[in-house]
Amino acid sequence: MTRVAVVTGGSRGIGRATAERLAADGQAVVIVYAGNKAEADKAVAEITSKGGQAVAAQADVADEKAVAAVFDLAEQTFGGVDVVVNSAGIMPLGTVADMDLDTFDKIMRTNARGTFVVAQQAARRLRSGGALVNISSSVVGLRFPQYGAYAMSKGGVEALTLVLARELRGRDVTVNVVAPGPTATDLFLDGKDQATIDNLAKQAPLERIGTPDDIAEVISFLAGPARWINGQVVRANGGII
């Protein structure tokens, strides 16, 4: 039986790399995107051109009806859901003193509520042998200035994960977090000059920043063979902490 994966934030960055990696692993993939239909369609075309199975679905991850419809689509198209990757996220930066609270609310809506809403559907629908992989950030541990709201939203994701793993006792479903360090995505690189990027690269003993494929490799492991890893936070950051 082909495993079926739902990947939010799947049109770009880590989500895109993950969708392509899971498809290469033999999974059928539902690529969930917020608004960039063109990139989502490109991701589907890339996967299908290599013999994989994929469809795109538009949804605001914080909208429970839209997310339920995505899971309906996965079940109707591919027969069920075995893997869910919660990769959708936004990262506006600002100090605690200066952060606009409307911006704060948007961060929490996508990163915290969105993760919860998707996790709720995963908890209800994942088949036996399934896996939920949430995406946090190593900034929860690094605590860089201006990342307060973002780190707060991702800290909640980490807290939720072990709770849900325990709630799914007896279901043979794993729930884990991958917390990337600095990774070369548009989301991370936006607004950073080369000197800042170079400085971040030097912090890891491997002396580079991560790539989306680096993170997708870890997610692939947790989404497939890693059945004895459960309720854990995997900091995929090259040793930066």
Structure tokens at 9: 């934030």
| Three-state DSSP state, 219 | helix
22 closest CA partner among 228, 212, 185 = 212
* DSSP E strands, 102-147: 131-135
Q: Which amino acid type is present at position 9? A: G
53-66 residues labelled b (16+ CB within 10 A) or e (exposed): bbbbbbbbbbeeee
| Three-state DSSP state, 62 | coil
User: What is the C-alpha separation between 14 and 115, in angstroms, rounded?
Assistant: 15
User: What is the C-alpha separation between 93 and 235, in angstroms, rounded?
Assistant: 21
| Three-state DSSP state, 134 | strand
State the catalytic residue, choosing from 33, 71, 150, 188.
Answer: 150
119 closest CA partner among 55, 64, 188 = 64
| Three-state DSSP state, 139 | helix
Is residue 147 part of the annotated active site? The answer reads no
Show which residues are catalytic. 150
